[in-house]
Structure 1
Amino acid sequence: MLFKGVGVLGFHEYHTLSQSAHSEQRGQAARIAARAYLEHMGPTDEQAALYAAVLSFLDDSSVKVRAALAYELLRSPNAPRPVMFALAQDEPIIAAAVVQFSPVLLDSDLVALARKGTDKIAEAILARPHIGQRVCHILVQEQSRTVDEMLLQRHDIALPYDMLIELADRWCDDAPMRGTLLNRPDLPIAARFLLTERIVDALLGARIVRGSIQKKRLNRLMRDQLDKATTGLVAGDSTQEHFRYLDALYQSDRLTPRLLINSVVNGRLRFYVTALAMLAELPANKTEGILRAGTRRALHALFTRCGFEPSLRNLMARLTILARDAYLETDVAARHFVVSQLIGVLIDDHDGDIPDSLDSVFAYLNEQNVSLAREAARGVMASFCDEADHSASIHISHLRDERLALPAA
């Protein structure tokens, strides 16, 4: 019988080697038996004897011997599965290597190993080239940060929607894990929203941020950024995931008029269309058609189906019409113009007495008007000064000398 690196070794010599008192020699015998079994092409009784020899080394008291057996069988697709399954439950140094590298272990084996294994075994499972979703479910149930992080870093594994939502909910308060979650391209929109909310909370709680910006302004800035992030999560063609996300916003009272106005003002048409389609229980393409070209009556009918009260219906109809010809996604000046026009129309419609039902919306529009005006104005004067003729100057008659009203001025 011929062995690579060993040559011809008689069965009697092999038997003597396998019965040695020295673990190094028994380990050599284990490797010989394993290699002989993998390469055997002779009689069936000889193969059966070799298989029995391989099995016998599982009972050896020396970790070195069992490790030698595992080393020889580790990467072979022809290794006996019962032997590899047994080795996968051996000492951690052996088990982890077998679990990570043995191609003969089935997903069912990995499920069983994951259920009673340690973090080290879970990490070994996650280092395998391919892992089934059943195994992933078992691993997630352990609620180990290390294991969850390794799983999330495997972008080649398609994780189910519910699992990703669960992981986002579990680790939303852990900053590094938020980053790991947000790096996944398949992270559901609802999970991204949850993580974004937590990021805003973390920023609001950071001393360096709280110490740099006045509290009311900071809260307004964070709210505006969260609104933009919330509406920006719906892009491209409407999908079932978009509808699930918007339904979750609606059920949690987050799909507010303010958010709908924000989506229009910032040119987030897909969010606006999908939200209204969900509320009105209409197809997205029909809803989009009404918003793009429908008459005022058609718009009012759409908003009535959405459950908007009359004053809000009128406001949203006017906003929609104003926004039709503006490039709101990219043009800050256009956003400022639309919001300014809408405020003017509201004041005219109600003779300056804004209804109670629109108080919060009107206050929001005023805030947005100021914010957009400031954003649109940035750099305008500097550019004008750069381009002005050197002889040009600013003419004023005088500066007030009274300081009583504004002592700090």
Structure 2
Amino acid sequence: MAAPLRRSSRFQTCEPSTQAIQPSESPRKRKRTPSDTASDAEEEDKPSSKAGKKTRQPKPEPVYIIPDVSPKETTFKGRLGYACLNTILRNKKPVKDSIFCSRTCRLDSIKKNGVDWVKDLGRKNAEDLLTMLQWNEDNNIKFMRMSSEMFPFASHAVHGYSLEYCEPLLVRAGELAKKLGHRLTAHPGQYTQLGSPKPGVIEASIRELAYHAEMMDRMGLGADSVMIVHGGGTYGDKVATLGRVKQTITEVLNPAIRARLVLENDEMCYNAEDLLPLCEELDVPLVFDYHHDMLFPSSIPPSEIIRRADAIWQRRGIKPKQHLSEPRPGAVTLMERRAHADRCESLPIDLPDDMDLMIEAKDKEQAVLHLYRIYGLHPVNHESLRPPDENQTKETKGRKSNKRQRAKEAKGEDDDE
């Protein structure tokens, strides 16, 4: 008998209430006997679909048990997005069919195989971006952060390269995003430090921003496609460092880079209150991160920060965006609470109704679909759902820090990534 069907909180999506998963178990290996050899010979005499090869039965499609959600209400009507990787497409089998935009390599591989080899990785990443955009459209997701590894080492001081070779593919991806009404953004990595006292680090940071800006410009993306960076380290003097950030933005960045630059509060060095005056002075938008604000709060309430931050976005004519993540269940210490949970269970209290909200969760697109189901925001395709991990750990190894390696990368020296 077919399993009964349930309704979601708002849209009629058919979801089986119970489904059994029957894992296949292989018998333990044992020593072969003469009878085994005879059986093999008999099998070889049987006709097969291909000469000289045995027919193999295809593996059955896995059956997923999708648990119910507890419905909640909201007036939110904005877009939810995810960052860089789609877990369903990335985990496609066989591995050669996997879809993702972060193929990368080590510097030794570039030296060995040449720049054309690494450029081909970028070309494959750009091709897969087209597939990811269409998957998002089919699943009502219109907001995504592009991987910073789309073009590996494109900003490197020695091995860097122009993206002109891949412009036709980038144009196609940009046109598809615009046609579908999707917003694409970027978030250069933690080594992008605009306030560093070391000129080499500033130079490397500018090359990284220039690479991201070039990618977006060649895609023909509009002003809403921004590049988000943190304030960076404090280097023992937060006020002096913010002064260097200001100098880099006003005196060093070219107009194309500055037009896409956005700052974000973090959980260790610069909270929203630290960055807001600088953002208001320079008309640089501020992305408000709820998780970071919880760990490193400002003395002014989130509602006031959001109001002032949104005023900058509006003056610049750019759609506002925010970031949302939650600590892992059971996290207690600061390091444990910094790590992102697999999914988010609630939208923020101060969330404006019309906001682009990036969900920074381990389960990527599943975290977005999870919130869709909780709040009834959009219809959800049941075949696109995967169950959450029941054994989510609160442990985290934290971020590794290697001063010598970071110094080499900042100078563009030849070393492994």
TM-score bracket, shorter-length normalisation: under 0.3
TM-score scaled to structure 2, two decimals? 0.27
| Greater share of strand | 2
Query: Whose helix fraction is larger, Structure 1's or Structure 2's?
Result: 1
Q: TM-score, normalised by structure 1?
A: 0.27
Larger Rg: 1
Question: Higher relative contact order by CA 8 Å / sep ≥ 6: 1 or 2?
Answer: 2
